[in-house]
Structure 1
């Protein structure tokens, strides 16, 4: 216990500055990449999206494929505290019709279970691509979440059909949960044509400034968008009350979108936070590969939500001067590494992307906004180190989303507990070494899928010994491993003082 107290005191007193690490070479995929080709027409007045999507992919299961159609979740009523918190008080159901599905050009009969479609593939070969096409028409639901609308915008998160992941464990068919981010997806290429009324504009996962815009039809325009090697495709359709602030960070154009009614000073602060944090994460964890990054003001009360190359910040972060917009913009920007560049099963291991993203956020805030950073670190340590009540309830960071009874336990364990673990490690290793390990993690898994086991292996290699007890104590709340975890961390502290040379039993520390 004395070791933990020593480390905690050091943590409360020390918020060190950043030491950049080098960028790494771009890692390209070596397996065939799935291609989504969508052609949609959006009517902002009627809140309607209609069109089709073709998916070319190489099946891993020759007999069938599954599609997540997340909009189906919001065509039915949901009850319970968690759903109420996600959806808000004023809920309107949406509609969704997928009236024609073909495989290799031939209509097929599909089976629907919740928001999943099981699509038979016939006599598919895993060595050859399959072409699946789905026509759909939907009206957006009204709620406080990731996919909804208000009088000035439509925000479309998790709106396009997306293939479920199939890996060594089989199919991952988890339903939409009202807590956390219940998504798991692999990188793909997207070609999306979007037709809008001429008075509207958009921001998306694609490099929108590079899009071809066809205005040949009177009163409308069609954006031809392309996004390569991304985990999902999100979009916000905006009226003329929206404007953007723009700055360049390396090869990336950073844009923050705000409305006429918003407080301009806060929009500028949010933009500065996005610009500076993107540059910081570039220096610490490796170069950002996409040439555009949009921070978009939406309605609702989602707080913030990450997608590749675009994040949503709800309007509360733009209405008056404050720090919440900065904090949220930075956290969602950190997700451009720990989610967008490195995927993971967010249903089974939410701590892996949320915890690492939150740690990265605190590291940036501590370097650039010291008082704010210190306050945030103290808050995370307060909620992340005193978790005996959660242990008694058999709750822990490393568990599936549906095991969390409320958002309070989810936040304390997934965010605060994981961040506290990393901050303790930072105090004994130093920021530079921890960031080197995180940079290696990014490099090894760039554009791919990582897991808790991936992180455990890397951490053990970096530490020079098995990290199981340390992770079990912090992430599984295994109290029987507390002393062993403390001893592990103490050895890491001694090794770091000893210039990285392992301390042997009975050896005097240098």
Structure 2
């Protein structure tokens, strides 16, 4: 879910919040959808949506060392990413995505972009493009199939003043999408889509991260992966994190209060909250979050990362998911914690192109959320919900960014469509479908075509009329 301020729908039966990013969708300015995209070779660029041809570069490993300033507003360090060419074609270049520059773009002379790279080794950097969110690095020589290489660089990160997934709230810093990550090349070519604040633009392959974060001891630092701390120089602490097969790495920093518990299923749950966060909401998030990670583990496959961190503040808008870490705006009634935990499977473990097909993570996460709370979805569907013939559940963020007042359909109509599919094929069959679908795409990438094919394979009913009615194209 986007970190935008959330519009809240109440479910009296569930007595919980159905969080839908609606209130600020109209006001949120989407970055231009006409930004430069690198051309793909002609035969691949004409491919229709199926399971992506071998996506590359893969088997990525990020080694990162960072040092933070006194309050966690500025971070500097070195980053190295090693990777393999999984494609049959030689790999001549790679692209790094600097998503942290998405809102500020290329900045101004007095206010430069928040994320800067320098001293690139392992390739020759070009100009920043796509509003300073993409950097082409030409490799010294073409990388043949199966060969590995690495690119390294210095990185400088300044946390913006806004309260956002990459931003701050009071003394607390959120560093989502702050680290540069490699773009993906698949059947559609290089994915160099523009940044959108309404929803997500992100598409990444499962990667390994080893991150060393040197910070003042007054700051607690929740982070993706299994974390532990060591004493650093006087007054400083080093937080280490190791994360395997994750699609991104995020962290936060601040004088958080903390608590750690282990779910009945064996997952370590670490909670971090600002002191002014409503205590009742913190308790509810911890209770529901622990229950959700175990329940979804049973429904979709055991949670593989061992640890998940909940970062809670009073004024953060809505919620935002990252592998092993979620940021939650928390009231006395709790937050979108269950929805964000569901994202650990739907986008995290079962990946998708979040710009090209956002319904594959948001609709699935909200469907899981509705099931968790037992909401009545029998009358949730109405064909009158569709504003025009061009509106489809499977539209990309290029469409939703231009029609921000319709984006809530990805949550509302999307989860409802999956609930109706459950009633169409039967609850037991739907449960088997999702568990098998997650297994078949574990750490991989799913597409709409993949899901339609999988759903049709478990029933004798012709689902073509269902897809048409629910605008799953």
Fold match (TM-score > 0.5): yes
Q: TM-score, normalised by structure 2?
A: 0.81
CA positional deviation for 1:125: 2.0
CA distance in 1 between partners of 2:104 and 2:66 (Å)? 20
CA positional deviation for 1:476: 4.5
CA distance in 2 between partners of 1:230 and 1:46 (Å)? 24
Of 69, 79, 83, the match for 2:98: 69
Of 445, 451, 462, the match for 1:449: 445
Q: Contact between 1:124 and 1:130, CA under 8 Å: does it hold in 2?
A: no
CA positional deviation for 1:423: 1.3
CA distance in 2 between partners of 1:431 and 1:361 (Å)? 16
CA distance in 1 between partners of 2:427 and 2:461 (Å)? 20
Of 60, 65, 68, the match for 1:34: 60
CA-to-partner distance for each residue in 1:359-380, whole Å, 9 max, x for gaps? 11111110xxxxxx23xx47xx
Aligned to 2:359, what secondary structure does the other structure show? helix
Of 405, 410, 413, the match for 1:408: 405
1:336 corresponds to: 344
Larger helix share, 1 or 2:
1
CA-to-partner distance for each residue in 1:15-65, whole Å, 9 max, x for gaps? 9xxxxxxxxxxxxxxx96210001111114371011111000013451110
1:496 corresponds to: none
Q: Contact between 1:56 and 1:131, CA under 8 Å: does it hold in 2?
A: yes
* Number of residue-to-residue matches in the alignment: 411
Is the alpha carbon distance of 1:223 and 1:255 closer, same or farther for their aligned partners in structure 2, counting shifts above 3 Å?
A: closer
2:38 corresponds to: none
2:455 corresponds to: 459
Q: TM-score, normalised by structure 1?
A: 0.76
1:125 corresponds to: 143
Is the alpha carbon distance of 1:251 and 1:40 closer, same or farther for their aligned partners in structure 2, counting shifts above 3 Å?
A: same
Q: Contact between 2:207 and 2:245, CA under 8 Å: does it hold in 1?
A: yes
2:318 corresponds to: 303
The 5-angstrom pairing of residues 18-29 of structure 1 reads none
CA positional deviation for 1:251: 2.2
2:415 corresponds to: 419
The 5-angstrom pairing of residues 336-375 of structure 1 reads 336-366=344-374, 373-374=375-376
Q: Does 1:110 align with 2:119?
A: no
CA positional deviation for 1:93: 7.3
CA distance in 2 between partners of 1:161 and 1:76 (Å)? 14
Following superposition, which runs of at least 4 residues in structure 1 exceed 4 angstroms of deviation? none
2:78 corresponds to: 52
Q: Contact between 1:94 and 1:138, CA under 8 Å: does it hold in 2?
A: no
Which ranges of structure 2 fall in alignment gaps of 5 or more residues?
1-10, 15-56
Is the alpha carbon distance of 1:32 and 1:245 closer, same or farther for their aligned partners in structure 2, counting shifts above 3 Å?
A: closer
Is the alpha carbon distance of 1:355 and 1:389 closer, same or farther for their aligned partners in structure 2, counting shifts above 3 Å?
A: closer
Aligned to 1:202, what secondary structure does the other structure show? coil
Is the alpha carbon distance of 1:230 and 1:249 closer, same or farther for their aligned partners in structure 2, counting shifts above 3 Å?
A: farther
CA-based RMSD of the aligned residues comes to 2.5
CA distance in 2 between partners of 1:365 and 1:446 (Å)? 25
CA distance in 2 between partners of 1:401 and 1:265 (Å)? 35
CA-to-partner distance for each residue in 1:174-195, whole Å, 9 max, x for gaps? 1111211111110000000100
CA positional deviation for 1:433: 1.8
